[in-house]
Structure formats: C-alpha cells, structure tokens
Amino acid sequence: MTDSVIRARRTSEPQAKGDRSPRGAGRRRRRLHASGLPWILPALVLGIGLIYYCIGYTGYISLLNWDGLSPEPEWVALHNYLRIFQDPVFWKAVWHTAVFFVVTFGLQTLLGLVFAVMMHSKIKLGVLYKVIVFVPVVLAPAIMAPVFRQLFAANGQFNWLLEHIGLGFLAQPWIGQESTALPVIMVITIWQWTGLTFVLYFAAMSQIDQSMIEAARIDGAGNIRTLVSIIWPSVRGTTVALAILSAIGALKTFDVPWLVTIAGPNNATQFLGTYIYQTTIQLAHAGYGAALSVILLIVALVMAIVFQTAGRERNAEKNPVERGTN
C-alpha cells in the first residue's frame, strides 16, 4: 500500500510540473490518485457490510433469549455465555474437536509424508497411485456419507471383511456405539484429506536441493535418516501450513459427523459446528447458538494468532539478519 501511494505521488508530479496555468496546477495538485482503493471498494463494502456486520449481529443475538423468529426477544446479557461453561455437551464438543485435530493431523501428516516420499522414488504406475490417493479430496462428503454409513453399519461391509479374514471377533456396530463412533469419523476424515497432505508434501519435496540428499547419502545416511534429518526439516513450512488447515478444519467440522452419525450416539460425535446447528435450528435457541458461535470465533482467532506468532518467531530465528535490516 505504501509503495503504491509513493508511486501515485511520483506519477502525479510531472503532470503538475507540465501545467503552465497556476490555477490548473492548483486543481491538479488537489486531484487525488487513489490507486487500488476503487478496486478493493466492493470487497471492502461486502467485507464490512456482510461479514463484520454479521459477526456484530451474532454478538448482539448472543445476548438474547430468542428463537430466531419471534419479534420479542428477551435481553439476557451474558447469561448464555455463563450457561455455555456449565454445559456438558459443549465441553464434550470441545474435547472431541481437540482429539480430532491431534489424531487427524498426526495421521494425515504421517501418511501424506510417506506417500510423497514413495512417489518420489520412481515407482511403477506412480501417476495411477497419485490419482487414487487424491480422488477422495474431490468427492463431496454428502455423496460419501451414505457409503460410510453402510460400510460401518453393524451388518456392513467392514464387518463382513473382518469376518472373512478371520478377524470376526473384532466386528462391532462401529457407528452405533459411543466408543467407536468418533474414531470412525476420524478415519473418514483422514481418508478424505490425506490426498491433499500428500500433494502438498510432494510439491514441497520437489523443491529440496538434490545435492543435499546426495551429500547425505555419501555421508552414509540411510532412507530413514535422510527422511528424518533432511526431508522432514526441509518441508517444515508445509507442515505448519497443514497444521493451520487442520486446526481450521477441526473447528469447522460439520458435514461428516452430521451426515454419518447425526452427532451421536449420545453426543459421541458432537462438534462445535454440529452443536451450533442443533441448538440454533433444531432446538430454536438462536441466542444460545449465537453465543456458541462467538466462542467458536474467539477460539479460531486465538488459534490463528498462536500459529501466526509461532510462524514469525521461527522465521525470525531462521533469518536474524533480515530482521535486523527490516
């Protein structure tokens, strides 16, 4: 922005100098070259008018006892927020979100990294494998949900498979019991998003200087040592980006748990997104749902600030000279 303003001033100077009329020169001096502003104006208006207005309005609603339609909402101040902290379902949803993030991020990272390394190692039919790994990313959860409901049903294909490979003792109603419903949701999510992790790691690994890997090989590093000491540190930026995406994804989780288990049984797959929907739409507690939304927004903001701060500190440690010159 600063650069563009300077450029705008510079480009206006010759025009002012070339004008012989003092009156005309004065008018032109007043002329403002607002580079960029008209172009961002629609987005700015939409951003402020819709997004920030809606956030503010949600904040206002969160102070009401309201069904979302009634013309006479009741002002309850911070009562909804006080209720949230005593609500066991809310804490369940928070816990599920945290566990979901840790497990899905950890396993997706591991699988994506391994797939990317394998694809870089000149295997036959590599393109086919890439397509197979990536296809789940482009499939809509609404289409896949009935498939997974059938797959993990008590008489579904997964139990059938277990029985046919001699593991019938492990067969159980996967989405019909509290202990296994959340792991099923995590498995589906990992299946769906590992392809994206793989693609990002694959691209990041293409940027690694081959001479570094060759030097490591000459120094006697094996596959594991090369992966841990050369490749993993080299793709750290990608890992941080994936961590941010996974955290955002965990906070926004709605479609898979809602379509596969309706957030049940007994709230076993309840997340903040599903709870907000259930509270606001099904139970018609728009005020309480808005308070939950505000809490979700705060958590997301805190998480974004933490990741941003951590990223800057890492960059600063990595490039101390650049920091000094800036």
Using CB under 8 A as the binding rule, the residues of this chain from 136 to 155 that contact other proteins are: 149, 152-155
Token digits for 156? 């579904």
Print the binding letters for residues 67-106 with other proteins: x by CB under 8 A, - otherwise.
xxxx------------------------------------
Q: Tell me: does residue 1 bind other proteins (CB under 8 A).
A: no
* 259 vs 19: CA distance, rounded Å: 69
What is the residue-wise DSSP string for 146-182? HHHHHHTSTTSHHHHHHHHTT-GGG---GGGSHHHHH
For residues 108 and 261, which CB has a smaller minimum distance to other proteins in the complex? 261
Query: Which position among 133, 181, 276, 292 is part of the footprint of other proteins (CB under 8 A)?
Result: 181
Q: Tell me: does residue 161 bind other proteins (CB under 8 A).
A: no
Query: Which position among 50, 55, 98, 132 is part of the footprint of other proteins (CB under 8 A)?
Result: 50
For residues 33 and 323, which CB has a smaller minimum distance to other proteins in the complex? 33
Q: Which of 88, 49, 104 is nearest to 247 (CA)?
A: 104
Using CB under 8 A as the binding rule, the residues of this chain from 274 to 293 that contact other proteins are: 277-278, 281-284
Token digits for 247? 């955290």
Q: Tell me: does residue 164 bind other proteins (CB under 8 A).
A: no
Handedness of CA 230, 234, 235, 239 (dihedral sign): positive
* 169 vs 326: CA distance, rounded Å: 64
Residue with tokens 């020169």: 25
What is the residue-wise DSSP string for 52-93? IHHHHHHHHHTTEE--SS-S-PEE-TTHHHHHHTT-HHHHHH
Q: Tell me: does residue 245 bind other proteins (CB under 8 A).
A: no
Looking at the chain, how many residues does it have?
326
Please identify, among the stretches 28-36, 128-136, 203-211, 234-242, the one whose residues bind other proteins according to the rule CB under 8 A. Answer: 28-36
Q: Tell me: does residue 41 bind other proteins (CB under 8 A).
A: yes
Binding site for other proteins (CB under 8 A): 8, 11, 27, 30-35, 37-39, 41-42, 45-46, 48-50, 53, 65, 67-70, 149, 152-155, 173-178, 181, 261-262, 264-268, 277-278, 281-284
